Amino acid sequence: MITVENLTKYYGPVKAVSDLSFTIEEGQVYGLLGPNGAGKSTTMNIMTGCLSPTSGSIHINGIDLFEEPEKAKKLIGYLPEQPPLYMNETPLEYLRFVGQAKGLKGAELSGQIRDVIAQTGLEHMKNRLISQLSKGYRQRVGIAQALLGNPAIVILDEPTVGLDPIQIVEIRTLIRDLGKTHTVIISSHILSEMQAVCDKVLIISNGTLAAFDTPNHLESILSGSDEITIRTLASEEQADALLSSMQDVDSFECTKEEDSLLLRIRTSAEDLRQFSCSLFFAFAKEQLPVFELTAHKGSLEDVFMELTEQTGTAGDETADSGESEEIN
């Protein structure tokens, strides 16, 4: 449906996007995940024909976006990071204006406006001034304008940024619903958002594609990201001999504590629970008492950290988004 090939964008000397290639299939929700400055907005602005790349090509349903922009852009609805809303208009007036700009008129225009208002839950707000709407409702107006013209693809740049937790849940539900009838691409730097709404995640780091996979598979591809800790009365030699002989033990560390030995075992075992059982019985068989065993499953956050080499510090742009799992 969308093919992005060798996309590169320089802003003066700054390389924002570097040789990016990927394919988007029809009917799924895709997430562009990356820390601030990774190149998400630049990529989206180029994919929607709002910005020219330095080099590279994009085809939308086989149409070259840079050779036939008018035709290709009809297939895409876009909510930019800063939606261009007119504060002294009502949603109804604004949607009428955008619809006309997209070439709609008459019954077609009225019908589509009615549909997008219903789809985005704006019915009881459509006659208020946009300036008086909450940020959550303004975002709905932004999404509604993207849906006008009935595009097959909807691209939303950080649709939940700056919203309160309840609004975030509502907008995520709306995005999932959109995914049933559209191909949706959203960007975010919030990992839990990707797990909540996306079928596939593209991790972007420094303008390059670091990973492209399902949220669940991304969690599992990091070999040895799962960890089991065991407190045992075994000696270091005994633990070493036992763990060295076991399958699925990628690596382990022993730390001597006052009255026990702490083992941290990294594994890429497929079934973490099953592997925990195997460990437990292996120690029992050797008559080595285990009095604590904890399994920790590696998360998408671990994958993200490893792929983008982020330290998870700095940045306060989304301090008001109410999320605790975000990485700036």
List of residues contacting ligand ADP (CB under 6 A): 11, 14, 16, 34, 36-42
Q: C-beta of 249: minimal distance to ligand ADP in Å?
A: 38
Rounded to an integer, what distance in angstroms lies between the CA atom of residue 7 and that of residue 303? Answer: 24
| 32 or 133: CB nearest Mg ion | 32
Q: Are 260 and 299 in contact (CB under 8 A)?
A: no
Q: Going along 49-139, which residue ranges are E strands? A: 55-60, 63-64, 76-79
Q: Which of 29, 41, 163, 195 binds Mg ion (CB under 5 A)?
A: 41
Q: Is 139 in the site for Mg ion (CB under 5 A)?
A: no
| 142 contact, one of Mg ion, ligand ADP, none, CB 5-8 Å limit per kind | none
Rounded to an integer, what distance in angstroms lies between the CA atom of residue 103 and that of residue 108? Answer: 10
Q: Which stretch binds Mg ion (CB under 5 A): 35-43, 102-110, 174-182, 260-268?
A: 35-43
Rounded to an integer, what distance in angstroms lies between the CA atom of residue 225 and that of residue 221? Answer: 9
What are the tokens at 81? 């990071």
Q: C-beta of 138: minimal distance to ligand ADP in Å?
A: 20
Q: Are 123 and 51 in contact (CB under 8 A)?
A: no
**Which amino acid makes up residue 75?**
L
| 38 or 95: CB nearest Mg ion | 38
| 34 contact, one of Mg ion, ligand ADP, none, CB 5-8 Å limit per kind | ligand ADP
Rounded to an integer, what distance in angstroms lies between the CA atom of residue 95 and that of residue 142? Answer: 9
Q: List Cβ neighbours of 128 (8 Å cut-off, separation of 6 or more).
A: 90, 91
| 4 or 116: CB nearest ligand ADP | 4
| 190 or 263: CB nearest ligand ADP | 190
Q: Which stretch binds Mg ion (CB under 5 A): 75-83, 130-138, 196-204, 245-253?
A: 75-83
Footprint of Mg ion (CB under 5 A): 40-41, 81
